[in-house]
Amino acid sequence: MVFVIGHRGAKAYEPENTLRSLARALTFGVDAVEVDVRACKDGALVVIHDETVDRTTNGKGKVKDLTLNQLKRLDAGMGEKIPLLSEVLDFVKGKSMLLIEIKEKGIEDRVVKEVIDRDMLGDVVFISFYHTSIAKVKDLAPKSKTGIIFTCEPVDPADLAVKAKAEVLLPSYMTLTEHVVKKAHEKGLMVYTWVLNKPEEIIAALELGVDGFASDKPDLAVKYAKKQRTLLTW
């Protein structure tokens, strides 16, 4: 079974990382949705990808320099607001898995606490480019599921995942190879690749044996994942 992830919700159709985007992704039947988290000036954990609000809202400035009150006054697209991590957790609870990308160091303990406080540890995969952050998450919550992200192939990405105590390897599609998938599987790791928005990319990734993938177009992703599942039942 292939694990289908709505990248920042349904980014191709709705304002990314908003509750509206997550809701749209869920209507397509994804297995999980993925969001990005960072801290604002007063320490609140907010869901936004970039260091600044410039690209995704009608405001300007760095997230770390703006208070939650200032952020909540911004339009994140179609009248949506930048959500708190807590709001996202409450929204998806009981509906799907959630991948939380930790966008900066130093917030790991607060992110983990938000999840544990809602008894959602089994419903979340913590991921990050910062492999030390993932190792810290595992120390804080040994039963958590974690994954490391990379965009260029290091000497042995599978070894890096094991070192970070992760269960999932998340290579970008540009770095996805048969070798990467094989080595990861040999070490007992799952492979989730990203971001696949074209049929030919999805087909190629599935042929390489990935366990899951993220897409800005969850409807397309689910369609091709279902085709692959159908083939496996024959």
For 128-145, the pLDDT digits (tens) are 999 999 999 999 999 999
- 185 is known as an active-site residue: no
CA dist., res. 14 & res. 169, Å (int): 27
For residue range 37-70, list pLDDT tens digits in order: 999 999 999 999 999 999 999 999 999 999 999 9
pTM over 0.75: yes
Q: How many domains does the chain have?
A: 1
Q: At 154, is the pLDDT very low, low, confident or very high (cuts 50, 70, 90)?
A: low
CA distance 218 to 29: 8
Q: Does a cis peptide bond (omega within 30 degrees of 0) precede residue 195?
A: yes
Distance CA 222, CA 40 (A): 34
State residue 110's pLDDT score: 99
List 49, 131, 179, 185, catalytic entry:
49
In angstroms, the CA 167 to CA 144 distance is: 9
Q: Which two tokens stand for residue 86?
A: 């807590």
**Catalytic site residue 179?**
no
Report the CATH number at residue 180: 3.20.20.190
pLDDT at position 228, please? 75
pLDDT of residue 230: 58
Q: In whole numbers, what is the pLDDT of the chain averaged over residues?
A: 96
pLDDT computed for residue 233 by the predictor: 42
Closest CA to 44 of 110, 129, 116: 110
Per-residue model confidence as pLDDT tens digits over 159-178: 999 999 999 999 999 999 99
Average pLDDT over residues 179-195: 97
DSSP 47-97: E-SSSBSTTTSS--SBGGGS-HHHHHTS--STT--PPBHHHHHHHHTTT-E
Query: What was the pLDDT predicted at 160?
Result: 92
Per residue in 56-106, pLDDT tens? 999 999 999 999 999 999 999 999 999 999 999 999 999 999 999 999 999
pLDDT at 196 over 70: yes
Q: Which domain holds residue 93?
A: 3-233
pLDDT of amino acid 156? 85
